[in-house]
Structure 1
Amino acid sequence: MPRPLALVGLAFTLMISTSRADTGSPIRTAYQVPKTAQAQEIYREMRARRVLEGLREIVSMVRLPQTLTLRLSECDGEINAWYEPKTRSVTVCYEYIQDVRDRAYRATLPAGVTYHDALFGTLAQVFLHETGHALFDLLDVPVLGREEDAADQFAALVVLRLRPAQARQIIAGSSILFTSFGAEDKLEKNTFADDHGLFYQRLYNLLCLAYGSDQRAFSYLVERGDLPKERAENCRDEYGLAAHAMDRLFHSHLQGGRMGRERIRRGFRWLN
């Protein structure tokens, strides 16, 4: 989610709790035991909720040619989340989760959106975004355009296979985060050179995919002005193109040839 920082040679000197899917799927989960008290609180909550195991449940629908590690880690103060091709690992920092918590506390939440939504909805989107990068790499999936945009689309399309109420929870949380970061975007020349889109652009792309997927379930986005009507007019087509591309690109890699909705829902039980 945040623009990636150069974290080279990060040493995991503390004990790491790891597990492997009982099915033999080449997906490992790793919760690094942190040093700081603040991070230890997050570590305990994420383990108790089995957040990484839930993500593994979703990713295990894909036949992976190599082992993928899903990791929560303390990152020496860096607020970040990333995929590392050399180690084939997705890492989300405890510092990043703490930053999301802080932003959720500070945010003015719209009616019907809770702190819980703002925190865990955001984390669901972040985990899926980084996992999208991992799958593009491990499966050699062609990406036309910016990979960061494609990872955002992957995350949104997985979320939109949930029941509308749960999808709304994640989208609401992600909107809080995009809005928070968007308020900090500096419209300087170098900002436009970043491989990430501006946060408000990413927000509207997400809302458009949601509305395009189910105009009845997400009609409120247009009714209350979250999604401009001018953009909403083409959202059904935008969603159709993205969903078709994802189905075509991932079809041959999926167990049974499809991304099962019930399995995705089981993978997100930790949201409740």
Structure 2
Amino acid sequence: MSFLFLSHFTYAGTTQNIGTNIPVDDHYGLALEPTPTITYRFLPPAIGQQQIEQFIEQSPVLETIKQLSQRRFIFSPSLQIVFGSEDGPLFDPVTNSIHIPYQFVIEARKRFKNKGRISNQRELNQATEDTLLHTLLHEIGHAYILDRAIPILGKEEDSVDNFATILLLNDIARGDEIAMNSADLFALEDLDIDSFDDADFVSEHSLDLQRYYNILCLVYGSNPNRYQRIFDELPVSDRQQQKERCPEYFSVINQGWLHYLAE
């Protein structure tokens, strides 16, 4: 199967919130200088990982997460995000911490670069940042479900994919593009699979291609007029079915998560 990889790269200049003098982040459009309910810790990188550590430290993604932690997912005590762990990405409920290996970011970057979908370094950096943001929001979703004792009917992994995507679509400038870049990584990972075995079907995660289409469905449902061609890779009958289903699907998922997210 071929995949429709959309170009999701736009670059906003520095701006301000309308009606205020609060500066906003020039990548993600959120007010700066928050008081975090999320903290960061960087473990010493291994040889060859120093550049990725610096990339993450300098990324606007960290400021965006801190901003969201002020009004959408407030943690007390604070939630720690550890970069450079050996295992992950994962949320550890025992230590109330999220772990992101440097190698995960390296591998995501390689996938975008090697599949020929990125035309320059700027787009590669943007796709990597977008994937990191969605991944962090996904893991924060696990922490938030535990912290607020939110009932989950179905796979929790699917629920936190939705958590991340709904936050992007509601709160983040160019959030739809960020969501689609992160979805593209799932599609790229699916291309590496030659066959499935039983372990793939009993996993707590849905298949990569299912996660890809689920994110696209939410993006389309949030703005059908803008994304008329988002399902062009599908057969006509499936394409029409998605266009009929996804607006209602987005509405249900959106209302469900906004009920639990602080504001």
TM-score, normalised via structure 1 length: 0.75
The equivalent residue for 2:164 is 155
Contact 1:101 1:119 in 2 (8 A): yes
CA distance in 1, matches of 2:156, 2:55: 31
Deviation of 1:140 after TM superposition, in Å, equals: 1.4
Q: Is the 8 A contact 1:52 1:70 kept in 2?
A: no
Q: CA-to-partner distance for each residue in 1:10-59, whole Å, 9 max, x for gaps?
A: xxxxxxxxxxx9765432111223132x2111111211225333212112
Match of 1:232 among 243, 259, 263: 243
Question: After alignment, is 222-231 or 96-105 more displaced?
Answer: 222-231
- Give the match for residue 12 of structure 1: none
Show structure 1 runs of 4+ deviating over 4 A: 21-25, 110-113, 223-227
Counterpart in 1 of 2:114? 106
Partner SS state of residue 99, structure 2? strand
1:63 to 60, 63, 74: 74
Cα distance in 2 for residues equivalent to 1:40 and 1:99: 15
1:169 is aligned to 2:180:
no
Task: Give the CA RMSD over aligned residues.
Answer: 2.6
Judge conservation of contact 1:118–1:177 (CA < 8 Å) in 2.
no
1: CA distance, partners of 2:128 / 2:97:
23
- What residue in structure 1 maps to residue 152 of structure 2? 143
Q: CA deviation at 1:111?
A: 8.9
Tell me which residue corresponds to 1:183: 191
Amino acid at match of 1:107: K
Q: Distance in 1 between matches of 2:85 and 2:76?
A: 28
The answer to whether residue 221 in structure 2 is matched with residue 212 in structure 1 is yes
Q: For residue 73 of structure 1, what is the aligned residue in structure 2?
A: 84
Larger mean Cα displacement after TM superposition, 54-63 or 240-249: 54-63
- Identical residues among aligned pairs (%): 23
Contact 1:154 1:246 in 2 (8 A): yes
How far apart, CA to CA, are the structure 1 residues paired with 2:116 and 2:33? 42
SS at match of 2:138: helix
| Residue number among 45, 59, 69 corresponding to 2:55 in the alignment | 45
Inter-partner Cα distance in structure 2 for 1:92 and 1:145: 25
Amino acid at match of 2:210: Q
Distance 2:49 2:85 in 1: 7
Which is worse superposed, 188-197 or 66-75? 66-75
Distance in 2 of aligned mates of 1:85 and 1:163? 27
* Residues 85 and 99 in structure 2, CA contact (< 8 A), matched pair in contact too: no
More divergent stretch after superposition (106-115 vs 55-64): 106-115
1:146 Cα deviation after fit: 0.6
Q: Distance in 1 between matches of 2:171 and 2:226?
A: 12
Residue 5 of structure 2 is matched in structure 1 by none
Question: Which amino acid counterpart does residue 91 of structure 1 have in structure 2?
Answer: H
* Cα offset, 1:150, TM superposition: 0.3
Aligned-partner Cα distance in 2 for 1:233–1:117: 31
Q: Which moved more, 1:27-36 or 1:219-228?
A: 219-228
Point out where structure 2 has 5 or more consecutive residues left out of the alignment: 1-31
Per-residue CA deviation, residues 155-193 of structure 1 (Å, 9 max, x unaligned), is 1101112567x2243133213211121123432122110
Structure 1: which 5+ residue stretches go unaligned?
Answer: 1-20, 259-272
